Structure 1
Amino acid sequence: MDRISNLPDELLVRILSFVPTTKVAVSTSILSKRWEYLWMWLPKLDYGRKDCPVSECEMLRCFLDRKLPLHRSPIIESFRLELSNSIFKPENIKTWVETALSRCLRELDISSHDVIDPPKFPNILPSNLFTCKSLAILKLAGEILLDVPPGVSLPSLKTLKLQRLRYFNEETLQRLLSNCPVLEDLVVDLHEFDEESVGKMTVAVPSLQSLSLYIPYWQNLDGFVIETPALKYFKLMDHNMSDHYFLIEKMPNLIEAYLEVFLPDSNSIFGSITSVKRLSICSDTNMLNGGFVFNQLEHLKVCICTLFASADQLIELLKASSKLKRLDISFFYQHTPSGMVCWNEPTTVPECILSSLQSFSWSKYRGEPEERDVVVYFLKHARHLETATIKSSESSGVSKSEMLKELELSPRASATCQLMFD
């Protein structure tokens, strides 16, 4: 230990930065006088945990009140708080965040669970958070009220993650986003069973490259508008049970999309993502009535519930995707559908099956006649197929050997296709 203690402060602080938590780093102060204050130079601070007992939370509150103002690092790379007890009061949290902001904070991550009741969603964010010039990453989760002041300006913010928050009003999110000129990555997960209406949600960010939006089943939402022309990754999980409008503008630069939607009509969504190269779909509603063409699509992943709702939907998707190289049929949910609708072999074969499809896979295959007919159809017509991978379901009533034998005996258009069974 003496040899290590003789190292320069900068190197010792770097060594401390690799320990699991800030609490462990602070505990090194008992090693010697040399180590007593080294933790105060740590650029990354991580405090609290979700299952923190009351006694430990009280010790943490006292420690942060006394010691955090003494922190000496001129730049705090990240400040993370995991709060799970009513001991943490809004005024305490605001003070801690303000201290971190005064050190040119670059990342703030706060998770608040069952902290204060009432009010259940307290305002724990200081106003100067919304004018921090150095902040590049902001992550907020849980019982937090987001109230954005009029003078908000976050010129360096690139990543914003908002999960299960309460919004002060329907302008709150739009005001925040419109004052983040370089924002690239946005995640918004709305709160389940929220009695207050979110109203209209607007995401209009010219610089945004990645967007993930989750709307739960019981969310009081009027509708949403998305205007993100530079977007490359788009994830939409719209499980909302109530009627709501939506408007999604064209995304000409889109590379990957994940859609988990149960809307009466999804046409306008598909119309906005026609440039996508990798697409995952889970939906039991009507799709592709608008004659859209996915002329860049190379990889399509379809949830079995989509196929089980209507096998014709898969064929329509394939007809619209002439350059498709890979098709995966899989589960997005844990439950198993009760049975597939009757499969009627189409009179014409989609162009992609004949000319470009190279890989086909089916997860949770149960060997039912309708499922077998679909797999046989691809084997029969896919001329350039290189691999066909079938992963059986544990709940299947058909033995693996029977499934494999049925498929191995089926005709194949590709002489080089490898049939793999798991």
Structure 2
Amino acid sequence: MDEEFLKFLKAKYRERPPLTYLITGEDLISKLPDSLRLEENVYADDASLESFISSCPVLEDLSILRMVEDNIKVLRVHSLTLTSLDIDFYFGENDDMVDDFDTKHSEVLIDAPRLKYLKFQDDLSESKVITNSGSLAKVNIVYVFNENDCADVVDLPRRNMVRNFLISISGVRDMKISGHFVEFLYCNMDFDPLPQFRNLSRLKAKFSLYFVEILPTLLESCPNLKSLVLVLEFDPSKEDVQIKFSSVPRCLVSSLESVEIKYFNGKPAKMEVARYFLENSGVLQKLVLHLRCSTLGEGFCILRDLLALPRGSSTCRIVVC
């Protein structure tokens, strides 16, 4: 336990005699929280929040909900015990305070060698840096790189930051990415290839049909993927977009066993996605489709068309739910 922090706690306990003489280091540790949620707070400065987090000797689960007025420019999370971290940002109702957040020189710096789970939600900080990420096993990336501003990807320092961030999470086994992050990857892939996620066995990704053609490129970076969940955008105005996949990544041939597609309605674009996996997956065991149709007859027609598609794996089952 940190000596200064122990002295601080003992001083606080001395305000409540006669229990003071019973206090030991073990007693204090048993009373300290291993889980914290810091929600919409205002801090004295960057250093005060950093010191508070690092002074919690048994902290394992930390959730931080920031806001524009929290007085934090650089969020530093340094902990030797932390195993789970969730960072979110409140921008007001309908995100009406987004423009009030000054991203210039804003950073998130994470140094937690025991960290296993990381979730970035609405955080617009200019830079994200993770060190000592060897224990990281699961990540959930929602909105992390100002994804809607794709012009920034040509900026070399920003590209380097993004590359280093992706490398730092490339050892995970389970990853979930949002449509915002997929859009950012779509803009960025012409400049820098994705690192190899060799340990990744499960991926869940949300796709707009406009960006689904990068799917082979994304999967090429996951050579040992076993399970894929695709959440395909449900937007009637985009259902007739023409989709053509450029290649067949290694994982489709040798490792991918399960594919799940949500919001599947049998329209040409989504049928092409299903055909791509059925035809090219050599070891696929099941294709699960969450059907969206207006009538029972329409559902039977979709199922008929699916069963007529050629299959690369003789053991593949089509499951409709």
TM-score of the pair, normalised by structure 2: 0.74
The one of 257, 262, 275 aligned to 1:363: 262
Q: 1 CA distance for matches of 2:284 and 2:212?
A: 21
Pairing 1:231–2:126 present: no
Partner of 1:324: 225
Which residue of the partner structure matches residue 418 of structure 1? 317
1:262 CA displacement:
5.0
Q: Does 1:281 align with 2:180?
A: no
Q: Cα offset for 1:244?
A: 1.9
Q: Post-superposition shift, 1:170?
A: 2.2
CA shift, 1:402, in A, is: 2.3
Match in the other structure for 2:238 = 339
Aligned-CA RMSD value: 3.1
| Larger Rg computed on CA atoms | 1
Counterparts of 2:143 and 2:264 in 1: how far apart (Å)?
Answer: 23
Determine which of 198, 203, 209 is the counterpart of 2:77.
203
Residue-by-residue CA offset, 1:285-314 (whole Å, 9 max, x unaligned): 125634411111101100134xx3422432
Q: 2:282 aligns with which of 383, 390, 394?
A: 383
2:59 is aligned with 1:177: no
C-alpha displacement of 1:176: 0.4
Match of 2:203 among 300, 304, 318: 300
User: Aligned pair in 2 of structure 1 residues 196, 208: CA closer, same or farther (>3 Å)?
Assistant: closer
3-state SS, counterpart of residue 238 of structure 2: coil
Q: Give CA-to-partner distance per residue, 1:118-160, whole Å, 9 cap, x none.
A: xxxxxxxxxxxxxx92465xxxxxxxxxxxxxxxxxxx44222
The residue aligned with 2:28 is 133
Does the C-alpha gap of structure 1 residues 225 and 413 become closer, same or farther in structure 2, counting only changes over 3 Å? Answer: same
| 1:77-226 to 2 correspondences below 5 Å | 133-134=28-29, 136=31, 156-191=32-67, 194-195=68-69, 197-217=71-91, 218=98, 219-220=101-102, 222-226=106-110
Is residue 257 from structure 1 mapped to residue 135 from structure 2 by the alignment?
Answer: no
Q: Which has the higher helix share?
A: 2
What is the CA–CA distance in structure 1 between the aligned matches of 2:82 and 2:206, rounded to whole Å? 27
Pairing 1:311–2:235 present: no
Indicate the residue corresponding to 1:271 in structure 2.
Answer: 167
Aligned residues of 2:261 and 2:288 also touching (Cα < 8 A): yes
Distance 1:102 1:225, change over 3 A: farther
Matched to 1:168, the amino acid is: A
- Point out where structure 2 has 5 or more consecutive residues left out of the alignment: 1-11, 20-26, 92-97, 148-152, 154-161
Q: Percent identity?
A: 24
- Give the letter for the 1:328 counterpart: V
Aligned to 1:404: 303
Q: Compare 220-229 and 290-299 and name the one that shifted more.
A: 220-229
SS of aligned partner of 1:177: helix
- Is the Cα contact below 8 Å between 1:250 and 1:273 reproduced in 2? no
Whether contact under 8 Å (1:324, 1:356) holds in the other structure is yes
Is the 2:213–2:245 contact (alpha carbons within 8 Å) kept by the matching residues of 1? Answer: no
Correspondence for 2:156 = none
8 Å contact from structure 1 (residues 231, 254) kept in 2? yes
Cα deviation, 1:49-103, whole Å, max 9, x if unaligned, reads xxxxxxxxxxxxxxxxxxxxxxxxxxxxxxxxxxxxxxxxxxxxxxxx99xx989
373-382 or 335-344: bigger deviation: 335-344
In 1, Cα distance between the equivalents of 2:110 and 2:250? 32
| TM-score, normalised with respect to structure 1 | 0.57
- Which stretches of structure 1, 4 residues or more, deviate above 6 A after TM superposition? 101-104
Q: How many aligned positions are there?
A: 270
Matched residue of 1:253: which SS? coil
